[in-house]
Amino acid sequence: MIVALAGGVGGAKLAQGLYHVSPPDSLAVIVNTGDDFELFGLRISPDADTVMYTLAGIANPATGWGVVNDTRATLEMLGRYGYELWFQLGDNDFATHIARTAQLRAGDSLTEVTRRLSRALGMRAALLPMCDEGVATLVDTPAGRLAFQDYFVRRRHADPVSGIVLDGIEAATITADAAQAIARATVIVVCPSNPVVSIGPILAVNGYRSALAASSAPRVAISPIVGGKALRGPADQMLAGLGHDVSAFGVAQLYGGLVDGFVIDHADREQAERIGALGMRVLVTDAVMRDEPDRQRLAREVLDFAADIGSSKR
């Protein structure tokens, strides 16, 4: 059983690689829900949907999010009704949010709803929201404290970030499904997602750090920072704004004590020694996933690396 912790597009890429190189039903992806928000009265779970669409094989390859060949008739009509269209939602995507919202309002948990939606799309990995409680990632900027999607999408992550607040985190607890997946895991993979606003919120939910610490499985993280830059999104700016080192090493520091192995790109090979000094084994490889074969190649390398760590950990 492989457990992967993931955020949006970057995490979904490696999760898809893991999904394709491992037996069916052997992968559980625990996904950040701190980015979730309500729009047009509908509950949107951007990271969960990105992983779901990607692993179901219907993601838009041009963007990494949304459904391939989706149309925008519903959104455009909402524009006619006077709504501001700052968040892109396709017609297929609307169905996801309508179904999720209706099922949540009917009293089902987010875990149960996400399971039902992902199974309906034929996804055989377990897709597990980090918690069933509402947690909202807020971003402190010179323009004030912003809701995550406001910062990320509407304002195109252009504001310098001086702090992150996880609203509601005190009341959030690891779900029974996620706890069970981690307890049964033979490999734990922290995907190359934003360490601050994708993996950070998962680790901040009550129960994850202790569950991960209690696991005897090898735990491996992949750096989302290559050559001092984020492969995607504002992780580099965020690390800088929060006073962290903007490097693979900086990310490794954040995961200190939490993972047994750390995967970095050839571009960062000179950081291997410093990362090793944090108490992690280091794998230097091509950590950039350009296409689908890349995702599977990196996934295999991560699993081999983990197996190697596992054999020495026992």
Q: Is position 314 an interface residue for a second copy (rule: CB under 8 A)?
A: no
Interface pick for a second copy out of 26, 60, 74, 186 (rule CB under 8 A): 74
68 is a contact residue toward a second copy (CB under 8 A): no
Between 93 and 150, CB nearer to a second copy: 93
Interaction of residue 233 with a second copy, rule CB under 8 A:
no
Cα 50–18–97 angle (5° rounding)? 20
On the CB side of 18, how many CA atoms lie within 13 Å of its CA? Answer: 33
The first and second tokens of residue 145, run together, are: 């404290």
The per-residue DSSP string of 190-259 comes to: E-SS-IIIIIHHHHHSBTHHHHHHH--S-EEEE-SEETTEESSTTHHHHHHHTT--SSHHHHHHHTTTT-
Segment near a second copy (CB under 8 A); pick from 79-87, 154-162, 213-221, 286-294:
79-87
Say whether residue 85 binds a second copy (CB under 8 A): no
Q: Verify binding: residue 75, a second copy, rule CB under 8 A.
A: yes
β-pair partners for 136: 167
Which residues in 121-140 contact a second copy (CB under 8 A)? Answer: 121
User: Out of 57, 63, 85, 116, which residue is the one contacting a second copy (CB under 8 A)?
Assistant: 116
Cα separation, 113 vs 185, whole angstroms: 23
Contact call for residue 107 and a second copy (CB under 8 A): no
Q: Check binding of 94 to a second copy (CB under 8 A).
A: yes
Q: Which amino acid, residue 160?
A: P
61 scored as a contact of a second copy (CB under 8 A): no
Query: Does residue 204 belong to the site contacting a second copy (CB under 8 A)?
Result: no
- What tokens were used for 112? 């149960």
Q: Cβ(245)–Cβ(254) under 8 Å?
A: no
Q: Which residues contact 185 (CB under 8 A, 6 or more apart)?
A: 1, 2, 3, 28, 215, 217
Contact region with a second copy (CB under 8 A), list: 10-18, 101-109, 245-253, 284-292: 101-109
Residue 154 or 156: which CB sits closer to a second copy? 154
Q: Is 90 in the site for a second copy (CB under 8 A)?
A: yes
Q: Which residues bind a second copy (CB under 8 A)?
A: 40-42, 67, 70-71, 73-78, 80-83, 90-92, 94-96, 98-99, 101-102, 105-106, 116-117, 120-121
